[in-house]
Structure 1
Amino acid sequence: MASTVAKGVVRQVKPILSVDHYEARKRVLTLYKAWYRQIPYIVMDYDLPKTKKQCQQKLREEFDKHRHVQDIRTIDMLVIKGQMELKETVEIWKQKHGLMAYWRDSVEPRPKDFLSKFLDGHE
C-alpha cells in the first residue's frame, strides 16, 4: 500500500533559470560566445604570454569538461558561475596568475628518488 502511494508522488523542483534542455543549451552557447568575444581583450588587458588561439583552445577544453552534464539545474549553476567568472575577468578584478592557473597541471607527481626529493626540497 505504501509503495503505491510513494510511486505516485513525484518531487517537483523549481528551475533556477532554464525550464528545459533547449533553453539551458541556449544559455551555455550564449556564455561560450561571450567568452569567445572577450578573449582578445583579455589577452591584451592581462598581457598574457598566451596567444589568442591558445586561449580559445583552453576555453573549449573548459566547456568540454562539463559536456556530460544532463541535469538542468546543474547546467544553470555552471552557467551562473561562468557568468560571474567572465564578469570578474572583464572588469579586471582577477589577477594574472588567476588566469594562468588554467594552464597549470592539476597534479604534479611527487619525486620518488633521493636526488629528486633533495632538489625539490622534500625530506
Structure 2
Amino acid sequence: MAITPTQFAKKTAQSANWSEAKRRVLSSYREWIRAAPEVQTMYNMPMPVSAIRTRMRQEFERQRFVNKLSVVDVLLFKSHAEYQETMNFWKQTNHIMAYFKEENFRGDKRLPSSFMTGFLEVSAQRSKPLAGLWLT
C-alpha cells in the first residue's frame, strides 16, 4: 500500500457560524466512521468493526457540549490531524489500542496495583514447590 502524505491534507479553516461548524463536525464524524473497517485491517485489531465505530462515536460524544466556536475549530483540527496520522499508517497498533483500554485484551488488569504487591505475589508463587516434583 503506497502512502501519500498529502492525500488527507486539508486546509485549516475557521467556522463562520454554528451551522458551518455542525456541518464540518458531521463530515469529520462520517469520515472516521467510514474508515473503521480500514483501520481494523491496517492495524490488525482484535475486535469487530462495530466496537471500533462505537469508540469513535464516544470520542465525538465526549465533546458534545462544547459551546465556543473557536474550541470546536481546534477540536476539528485535532480530529483531522489524528485521522491523517491514522490513515497514513504513521501510528503503531499500541497507539490505536490506547483508545480501547477497557476492551483491551492486554489491559491494565494484568499489571499489579503497586510494585510491592506485584513483587510479593511473584515471590509467593516462586516459593511454592511444584506439585509432584521434589528436588533432591
Mark yes or no: TM-score above 0.5.
yes
TM bracket (short chain):
0.7 to 0.9
Equivalent-residue separation in structure 2 for 1:72 and 1:21 (angstroms): 7
**Does 2:121 match 1:119?**
yes
Equivalent-residue separation in structure 2 for 1:115 and 1:24 (angstroms): 50
How many residues are aligned here? 104
Shift of 1:97: 0.3
Q: How does 1:34-73 map to 2 (within 5 A)?
A: 34-73=31-70
Shift of 1:115: 4.8
Structure 1 moving runs of 4+ over 4 Å: 114-117
Q: How does 1:1-123 map to 2 (within 5 A)?
A: 17-104=14-101, 111=113, 115=117, 118-119=120-121
Equivalent-residue separation in structure 1 for 2:85 and 2:97 (angstroms): 15
TM-score by length of 1: 0.74
TM-score by length of 2: 0.68
Shift of 1:111: 3.9
Shift of 1:50: 1.3
Relative distance call for 1:44 and 1:116 in structure 2 (3 A) is same
Equivalent-residue separation in structure 2 for 1:31 and 1:20 (angstroms): 17
Equivalent-residue separation in structure 1 for 2:92 and 2:118 (angstroms): 32
Q: Retained in 2: the 8 A contact 1:42–1:89? A: yes
SS in 2 for 1:18: coil
Relative distance call for 1:115 and 1:92 in structure 2 (3 A) is closer
Relative distance call for 1:115 and 1:85 in structure 2 (3 A) is closer
Shift of 1:99: 0.3
Structure 2's unaligned 5+ residue stretches are: 1-12, 103-107, 123-136
Shift of 1:116: 6.2
Q: Which amino acid aligns with 1:100?
A: M
Q: Which amino acid aligns with 2:23?
A: K
SS in 2 for 1:93: coil
SS in 2 for 1:97: helix
